């Protein structure tokens, strides 16, 4: 087991280094930071001094290693716009995003797992068709359109839910206030994820139901309830773990748009404002962080497989 984990981490390292190279190349393609300084009141000599101070007179690969060295020491550079360190900016926006992602992940699992299992067990029934149609709708509706519809219904027409931010302005927030602000973003994120997950879980459970060991379980006459709840569901844990692993990159991406529409003060909102103001160090910091999160999520998923299914041998 530990051998496998070490092996996976060793495989992940070249991928991560590759990602930093792509990251750095994109940043260089985007243009030199000196261009931002140019102006009538900046002399050539000052630009030259700044160039040496930033190490831009060195060849490309040395610049990359300097950047990588800084990165390893936790220095992700400084925002061009606000002059704050990127790592501090990310740290201050990470909390709201993690909260939103965690609750959405939970909500989507609460929708997708029972719905997927139900429609597999009742294949070709009316309920199955309803669930599958809903899942197609969920994966076909653009997140921003669903957000607009929800705002139109619940904020504009009914006036039940606040449509932007995380807390009511001027108040300290508190649990209920945050929860109210979170309902709509969570619905949007969870629906889009549940859409594809329901179909995935459904087809996985359908496959499990045809296995020999379930036929045996039925043949011994232990009753339908036990067959499904004891034998089938336990084996359905494997596809559920897969679904969680697949959801994490989707969540990271979906959060960008949803946070933008609902002005949720998280990483996505920060990224969007960095993108519109071309604040490259911040964009690259977020890219790097999300790539690391995705790689770690993949690794954790593989380890979880071994935990839920002892027959999977990891070597």
Q: What does the binding site for another protein look like in residue numbers (CB under 8 A)?
A: 14-15, 18-19, 22, 26, 29-30, 121, 123, 133, 136-137, 139-145, 148-149, 151-152, 156, 209-210, 215, 218-219, 224, 227-228, 249-250, 252-254, 256-257, 260-261, 271-272, 275-276, 278, 283, 286-287, 290-291, 294-295, 298
Instruction: Return the SS3 of 78.
Output: strand
- Both tokens of 94, joined, read 């990470």
For residue 10, how many other CB atoms are within 10 A of its CB?
9
Q: Nearest distance from residue 160's CB to another protein, in Å?
A: 15
CA 308 to chain CA centroid, Å, is 23
Q: How far is the CB of 84 from another protein (least distance, A)?
A: 20
Q: Which is nearer to another protein, 100 or 295 (CB)?
A: 295
> In whole angstroms, what is the distance from residue 311 CA to residue 306 CA?
8
Of residues 84 and 216, the one with the C-beta less far from another protein: 216
Q: What are phi and psi of 208, to 5 degrees?
A: -60, -40
Q: Is residue 111 within 8 Å of 190, Cβ to Cβ?
A: yes
d(CA 233, CA 120): 11
Q: Cβ closer to another protein: 7 or 278?
A: 278
DSSP string over 133-164: HHHHHHHHS-HHHHHHHHIIIIIIIS--S--S
- Tell me the closest approach of the beta carbon of residue 288 to another protein, in angstroms: 10
Q: Least distance (Å) from another protein to the CB of residue 301?
A: 13
DSSP state letters, 221-243 = T--HHHIIIIIIHHHHHHHHHHH
Nearer to another protein by C-beta: 104 or 271? 271
Q: How far apart are CA 203 and CA 190, in angstroms?
A: 20
Tell the smallest beta-carbon distance from residue 23 to another protein (Å). 9
Task: Please state, in angstroms and rounded to a whole number, the distance separating the CA atoms of residues 124 and 83.
Answer: 59
CB of 175 to another protein, least distance (A): 28
Nearer to another protein, 18 or 95 (CB): 18
Nearest-angstrom CA–CA distance, 289 and 210? 42
DSSP-assigned beta bridge partners for residue 85: 78
Q: What one-character DSSP code corresponds to residue 63?
A: H
Look at residue 267 and give its three-state secondary structure: helix
User: Which residue, 3 or 224, is less far from another protein as judged by CB?
Assistant: 224
Question: Which residue number, 7 or 46, has a Cβ lying nearer to another protein?
Answer: 7
**Identity of the residue, 47 or 250, whose beta carbon is nearer to another protein in the bound complex:** 250
Q: Least CB distance from residue 305 to another protein, whole Å?
A: 18
Q: How far is the CB of 57 from another protein (least distance, A)?
A: 24
């Amino acid at each position: 087991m530990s051998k496998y984990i070490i092996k996976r981490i060793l495989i992940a390292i070249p991928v991560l280094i590759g990602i930093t190279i792509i990251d750095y190349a994109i940043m260089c393609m985007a243009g030199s930071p000196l261009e931002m300084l140019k102006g009538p009141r900046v002399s050539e000599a000052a630009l030259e001094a700044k160039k040496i101070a930033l190490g831009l007179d060195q060849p490309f690969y040395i610049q990359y290693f300097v950047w990588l060295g800084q990165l390893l020491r936790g220095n992700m550079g400084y925002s061009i716009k606000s002059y704050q360190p990127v790592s501090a900016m990310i740290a201050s926006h990470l909390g709201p995003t993690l909260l939103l992602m965690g609750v959405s992940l939970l909500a989507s699992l609460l929708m997708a797992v029972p719905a997927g299992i139900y429609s597999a067990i009742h294949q070709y029934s009316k309920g199955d068709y309803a669930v599958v149609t809903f899942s197609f709708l969920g994966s076909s509706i653009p997140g921003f359109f669903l957000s607009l519809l929800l705002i139109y219904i619940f904020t504009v027409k009914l006036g039940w839910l606040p449509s932007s931010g995380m807390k009511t302005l001027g108040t300290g927030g508190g649990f209920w206030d945050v929860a109210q602000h979170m309902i709509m973003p969570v619905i949007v994120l969870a629906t889009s994820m549940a859409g594809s997950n329901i179909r995935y879980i459904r087809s996985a459970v359908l496959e499990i139901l045809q296995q020999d060991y379930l036929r045996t379980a039925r043949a011994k006459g232990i009753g339908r309830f036990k067959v499904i709840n004891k034998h089938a569901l336990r084996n359905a844990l494997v596809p559920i773990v897969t679904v969680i692993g697949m959801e994490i990159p989707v969540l990271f991406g979906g959060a960008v748009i949803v946070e933008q529409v609902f002005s949720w003060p998280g990483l996505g909102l920060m990224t969007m404002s960095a993108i519109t103001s071309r604040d490259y160090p911040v964009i690259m910091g977020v890219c790097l962080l999300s790539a690391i999160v995705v790689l770690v999520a993949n690794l954790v998923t593989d380890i979880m497989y071994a935990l839920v299914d002892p027959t999977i041998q990891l070597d």
